[in-house]
Amino acid sequence: MTSNSPEHDESTGSGAGRSPSSDARSAGGAGPIPSSVPSGDRDRVAPTEPPQRGKAAPAGGKGRKPGKSASGGDWNVFRTVVVLVGVVIAAFGAYYLILGTAGLPETEASPANPTLESQFRFFSAMMVGVGAAFITIAVKFQWANMLWLVCLMVFVGGIGRVLSWAFSGTPHYVMIVLMVVELAFPPALLVWHKYIAKTSDLRREFAQRD
């Protein structure tokens, strides 16, 4: 039995006479706007687009893929050169460690001096250690800040050859060539290392700005 009271009529009529605009609002604006809605109300009932799931597009509309920096090749070349330097120094040290002073030029006719042989072979073993340090720094590149130390050791060795030339006379030309390399190469290697590190920092800074 139905009731004819006004309250009953209003409650039943409120659901049946609900406007499409209110249905669009209750749906969260996800559905299309019915054509029955007046044009003046369509602006107020404009559906809002649901948030799109997924990765947001990068700023500037450019999708940059992470990859190796442009300076990665420079570091690889630098590390290769450091390894080669270490191998050469270690090879010279091992050669003199085995042969002693007999491995030096212009010493074939002179008799061996036990004291000189002892000291010479000791420093030959030090050369092997310096070469191994170069190789280790190149392989475990986190120790690159120790590169200046081994370069300083080689440079001081070149200064020792200069002192020997000044106080004891002109040595064999091979020793002069080694002296020039020991004095020129360590500073050049450190400058090269500083240059690559600086350019890498600049490239990283520009990449972050973009």
* Closest C-alpha among 88, 174, 167 to residue 130: 88
Expressed in angstroms, the distance from the first to the final Cα of the chain is 75
Mean pLDDT value across residues 24-43 = 48
Tell me the per-residue pLDDT of 184-195, one tens digit each, with 9 for 90 and over: 999 999 999 989
Tell me the per-residue pLDDT of 126-178, one tens digit each, with 9 for 90 and over: 999 999 999 999 888 766 778 899 999 999 999 999 999 999 999 999 899 99
- Please report which confidence band the pLDDT of residue 9 belongs to, taking 50, 70 and 90 as the band edges: very low
Output the pLDDT for position 150: 92
Domain spans in the chain, listed from the N-terminal domain onward: 73-209
* Closest C-alpha among 99, 100, 80 to residue 88: 80
Supply the pTM of this predicted model: 0.61
What is the 8-class DSSP label of residue 17?
T
Alpha-carbon gap, residue 65 to 131, rounded angstroms: 39
Q: Which residue has the tokens 């409120």?
A: 14
